[in-house]
Amino acid sequence: MNKGDEEKRTMMKKLIPNKQIVLNHYVTGYPKESDFGLRSSTTSCTLSHGSTSSAVLLKNLYLSCDPYMRHRMSDHISHSGTIVQSFTSGSVLVGYGVSKVIESTHPSFKEGILGMPGIAAYAGFHKICYPKEGDCVYVSSASGGVGQLVGQFAKLMGCYVVGSASTKEKVDLLKHKMGFDEAFNYKEEYDLGSALRRYFPQGIDIYFDNVGGHMLDEVILHMKVHGRIALCGMISQYNIEKPEGVHNMFSLIMKRIEMKGFAETDFRHVYPELVELCIKYLQEGKLVYVEDIAQGLENASSALVGIFYGRNVGKQVVCIAKE
């Protein structure tokens, strides 16, 4: 028997039941649960076990619900070089998550290995903002999956940290569980500028922006000379047809402020640094992570929609299976 025949004989065909979330149409305005559908199907999977095979069979355990997904549900994203493209008809709705390796013939992926996110928080704060001890740091949407980590990384650096969120429950979480120095509910602040002056009387060194729009525009006025702004997300802009403008750009020149947009895909090479740092802090009890877990793929649409109405407390995750 030659090598090719041996590999053909070791191919294994599996019929796997598979639930699917379907995007029914492109979305305008705020997403609704009716924009999505749930289907069931059976998928045929063939895995070769020959010496030249490098196949991996994964079982999805957890799916990540992230605001950037809303952007991909619009039909007008075609800018050259953009990292976010519109979903196309018939394509797979891709996203981040945690999977279990069920079967593998790939040398780099062994059965049972799991992964974890966090590059956006680590890279955005450490590689874009260049923090130092004593910096005054402001984090918007601070109780979300990225914001809660940024605030804790800042505290571990010896910074003064303030976060904003949309409910009292989230504000209490930031102050009493995640160790932020201060936190406030931006919906209860009639004048955002007054709130920023109250918490940052000397100005802001670092702003980690997850919101954009009016929030970003106002924060620029309160930055210190040589301040740093990391643009990670703009959740306030995803569901409106005419984006809000930023009018205080001249302050970037007058105060020599550095403002930079980024994506975690730019920094995947720092993943080993992130893992080393997080494991150390987790083992020492210096880092906590709060998740809002929806159970079952059938609740994925509701979980995603809820992000844009502030329903989630902590990082929104969908649990498909526990093992």
In sequence order, the β-bridge partners of residue 280 are none
Name the nearest CA neighbour of 137 among 153, 117, 123. 153
Residue carrying the six token digits 């980590």: 149
Confidence of residue 116 (pLDDT cuts 50, 70, 90): very low
Nearest CA-CA partner of 145 in 296, 321, 288: 288
pLDDT on residue 6: 46
Sorted by where each begins, the domain ranges of the chain are 3-115+292-319, 119-266
CA distance 164 to 208: 11
> Is 73 exposed, middle or buried, given 0-12, 13-18 or 19+ CB atoms closer than 10 A?
buried
Asked, colleague to colleague, whether 3-115+292-319 and 119-266 share their fold, the answer is no
Q: What is the CATH number assigned to the segment(s) 119-266?
A: 3.40.50.720
Instruction: For residue range 220-260, list pLDDT tens digits in order.
Output: 999 999 999 999 999 888 888 888 889 999 999 999 999 99
Ranked by mean pLDDT, the top range of 13-17, 58-62, 88-92, 198-202 is: 198-202
Q: What percent of the chain has pLDDT over 70?
A: 86
| Mean pLDDT, all residues of the chain | 85
Please report the pLDDT score of residue 9 as a whole number: 42
Strand partners, 209: 231
Contacts for 82 with CB less than 8 Å, ≥ 6 apart: none
Tell me the three state secondary structure of residue 104.
strand
Q: Is CATH 3.90.180.10 the classification given to domain 3-115+292-319? A: yes
Only one residue has tokens 């975690």, namely: 264
Q: Give the pLDDT score at 161.
A: 99
How many CA atoms are closer than 13 Å to the CA of 236, on its beta-carbon side? 20
Residue 21 and residue 127: Cα distance in Å, rounded? 35
If one counts every other C-beta atom within 10 angstroms of the C-beta of residue 20, the result is: 13
Among 234, 270, 257, which Cα is nearest to 124's?
A: 270
Pair 314, 173: CB distance under 8 Å? yes
Single-letter code of the amino acid located at 182: E
Helix segments in 222-321, DSSP class H:
250-254, 271-283, 300-307
Q: Indicate the helix (H) or strand (E) that contains 71.
A: helix 68-72
Express each pLDDT in 5-18 by its tens digit: 444 444 456 677 78
Measured in Å, how far apart are the chain's first and last C-alpha atoms? 39
Helix, strand, coil shares of the chain, percent, nearest 5, are 30, 25, 45
Read off the pLDDT band of 308 (50, 70, 90).
Answer: confident
Helix (H) or strand (E) holding 195: helix 192-199
pLDDT in tens, 263-275: 888 898 988 898 8
Q: What is the DSSP letter of 92?
A: -
Encoded tokens for 77 = 């994203």
